[in-house]
């Protein structure tokens, strides 16, 4: 692999180049690294490389003419990468692609970055090492250099270790242990000293799944999982945030067709579908707020039919889902019920398609880490303004960047639960 690093601070890389595996790889010619300093391409007496930003603002911007000349000086630059927090996040799959390219030029900005015309003129691939801001691209280039160099054949002592670790299979790595077998009262897991390689492999895979589920459940989507993995995941006890989540389907006060607040009647399909979705996502319960006496009676007989009557005998799954549901006459009664069940007043998150909300969906997940949450969904033309005013947060419409947001409430609730809990919680 041959890497050229364009940087104002080549000395920044000294210790890495003379340490451990990287030093050996350079010595053996497995990796070649050279440097281009843009300051060598400045044309004034002070070797100026930067200037004030057009439009004002703090800091300085690296000049396109100076950086451009520095880039032109690189012979056969290969894939050209600019390290910037605005870039594509560096992950193992990108590291693999960059390593496979074999020839890279890494461009490190300093100050407020490099004039944007350089990026356009050279078609640089922007890469970021995380959602934080470093003082320059050098530390990020080091990460990229190390992540790609270790995938180069001959870099590691044993060929396969670069690909055996965290992220290679899309999962976090299993925990590692070494001697002593017992340390401060903590023993190495017995399976690892059993000598049974089949069991060790199985244990390691399950630990990888366990660690990934606990720390980075987002990775599971892209990981190559087989049937055995999925069964193992099912067996692992996990933090089920849904257990603290209650859904409240509000029939009053909601907006009517004419824009005034009022009460609307039940929709059988809503009760069925929402309870099934709530059961699937492991919710604590569903409260149906309905003040109209005849509608409450309807709810009670519907629930009785499916929970205890002929419906339950014919369809036990439906009975299980509908057993989550209970009625309440008012929103206050629903809140009091959840408070009584959990011992804490729930955080109240209201939904609306009308654009009034500014609470992000991910915030509800954060609330759930702290305590129970009651998610309000309005029937009719949506929750009345007084309900939104009294809530602890009003969520953004599900499609807040689009104009059309008119989904049936049961569809909106299904999407909302998936957005809050996904498939991991």
Q: How many Å apart are CA 38 and CA 44, to the nearest integer?
A: 13
Residue with tokens 């003379």: 18
On whether the CB atoms of residues 259 and 310 are closer than 8 A, the answer is: no
Give the relative orientation of helices 268-280 and 293-307 as an angle to the nearest 10 degrees: 50
Q: How far is the CB of 61 from ligand ADE (least distance, A)?
A: 14
Number of residues that bind ligand ADE (CB under 6 A): 11
> Which range binds ligand ADE by CB under 6 A, 17-25, 82-90, 260-268, 395-403?
82-90
Q: Which residues contact 6 (CB under 8 A, 6 or more apart)?
A: 35, 36, 37, 38, 67, 70, 71, 74, 105, 106, 107, 108
Q: How far is the CB of 19 from ligand ADE (least distance, A)?
A: 22
Q: How far is the CB of 106 from ligand ADE (least distance, A)?
A: 10
Q: How far is the CB of 14 from ligand ADE (least distance, A)?
A: 20
Question: Dihedral sign, CA of 94, 91, 81, 145?
Answer: negative
Among residues 84, 208, 351, 379, the one that binds ligand ADE under rule CB under 6 A: 84
Q: How far is the CB of 268 from ligand ADE (least distance, A)?
A: 53
Closest to ligand ADE by CB, 140 vs 373, is: 140
Reported as half-sphere exposure (CB side, CA atoms, 13 A), residue 266 has a value of 26
Closest to ligand ADE by CB, 137 vs 382, is: 137
241 binds ligand ADE (CB under 6 A): no
Tokens of 272: 């069925």
Residue with tokens 């934080």: 132
Q: How many Å apart are CA 279 and CA 271, to the nearest integer?
A: 12
Q: How far is the CB of 158 from ligand ADE (least distance, A)?
A: 30
Closest to ligand ADE by CB, 83 vs 287, is: 83
**Cβ-closest residue to ligand ADE?**
140
Closest to ligand ADE by CB, 134 vs 288, is: 134
Closest to ligand ADE by CB, 82 vs 351, is: 82
Closest to ligand ADE by CB, 84 vs 278, is: 84
Q: How far is the CB of 228 from ligand ADE (least distance, A)?
A: 37
Residue with tokens 């059309």: 404
Closest to ligand ADE by CB, 132 vs 404, is: 132
Closest to ligand ADE by CB, 112 vs 206, is: 112
Tokens of 419: 């957005």
**Cα 208 to Cα 173, 195, 198, 205, 263, distances in angstroms:** 5, 20, 16, 5, 51
Tokens of 308: 């205890």
Comparing CA positions, the residue from 353, 395, 405 lying closest to residue 374 is: 395
Closest to ligand ADE by CB, 112 vs 418, is: 112
Q: How far is the CB of 116 from ligand ADE (least distance, A)?
A: 15
Reported as half-sphere exposure (CB side, CA atoms, 13 A), residue 212 has a value of 28
> Which range binds ligand ADE by CB under 6 A, 77-85, 199-207, 250-258, 393-401?
77-85
Among residues 1, 22, 83, 364, the one that binds ligand ADE under rule CB under 6 A: 83
What residues between 249 and 288 interact with ligand ADE by CB under 6 A?
none
Alpha helices in 86-187 (DSSP H): 92-101, 116-122, 138-149
Q: Residues 213-232 vs ligand ADE: string with x where CB under 6 A? A: --------------------
What residues between 126 and 155 interact with ligand ADE by CB under 6 A?
128-130, 132-134, 137, 140
Comparing CA positions, the residue from 61, 81, 87 lying closest to residue 4 is: 81
Q: How many Å apart are CA 405 and CA 401, to the nearest integer?
A: 10
Closest to ligand ADE by CB, 28 vs 86, is: 86
Interface ranges with ligand ADE (CB under 6 A):
83-85, 128-130, 132-134, 137, 140
């Amino acid at each position: 692999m041959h890497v050229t690093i364009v940087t104002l601070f080549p000395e920044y890389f000294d210790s890495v180049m003379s340490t451990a595996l990287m030093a050996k790889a350079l010595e053996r010619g497995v990796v070649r690294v050279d440097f281009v300093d843009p300051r060598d391409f400045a044309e004034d007496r002070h070797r100026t490389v930067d200037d004030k930003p057009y439009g004002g603002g703090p800091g300085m911007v690296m000049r396109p003419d100076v950086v451009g000349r520095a880039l032109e000086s690189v012979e056969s630059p290969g894939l050209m990468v600019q390290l910037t927090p605005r870039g594509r996040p560096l992950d193992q799959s990108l590291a693999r692609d960059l390593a496979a390219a074999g020839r890279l030029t890494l461009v490190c900005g300093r100050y407020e970055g490099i004039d944007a015309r350089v990026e356009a003129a050279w078609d640089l691939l922007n890469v970021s090492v995380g959602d934080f801001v470093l003082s320059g691209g050098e530390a990020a280039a080091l990460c990229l250099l190390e992540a790609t160099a270790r995938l180069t054949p001959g870099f590691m002592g044993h060929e396969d270790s670069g690909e055996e670790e965290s992220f290679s299979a899309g999962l976090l790595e299993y925990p590692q242990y070494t001697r002593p077998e017992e340390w401060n009262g903590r023993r190495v897991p017995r399976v690892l000293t059993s000598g049974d390689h089949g069991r060790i492999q199985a244990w390691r895979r399950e630990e990888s799944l366990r660690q990934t589920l606990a720390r980075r459940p987002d990775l599971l989507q892209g990981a190559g999982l087989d049937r055995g993995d999925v069964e193992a995941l099912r067996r692992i006890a996990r933090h089920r945030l849904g257990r603290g989540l209650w859904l409240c389907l509000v029939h009053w006060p909601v907006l009517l067709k004419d824009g005034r607040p009022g009460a609307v009647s039940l929709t059988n399909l809503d009760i069925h579908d929402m309870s099934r979705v709530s059961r699937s996502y492991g919710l604590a319960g569903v409260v149906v707020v309905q003040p109209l006496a005849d509608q409450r009676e309807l709810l009670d007989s519907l629930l009785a039919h499916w929970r205890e009557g002929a419906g339950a005998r014919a369809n036990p799954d439906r009975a299980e889902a509908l057993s989550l549901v209970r009625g309440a006459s008012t929103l206050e009664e629903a809140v009091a019920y959840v408070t009584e069940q959990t011992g804490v007043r729930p955080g109240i998150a209201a939904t609306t398609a009308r654009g009034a909300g500014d609470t992000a969906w991910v915030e509800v997940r954060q609330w759930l880490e702290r305590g129970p949450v009651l998610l309000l969904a309005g029937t009719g033309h949506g929750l009345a303004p007084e309900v939104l005013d009294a809530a602890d947060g009003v969520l953004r419409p599900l499609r807040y960047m689009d104009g059309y947001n008119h989904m049936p409430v049961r569809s909106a609730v299904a999407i909302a639960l998936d957005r809050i809990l996904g498939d991991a919680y």
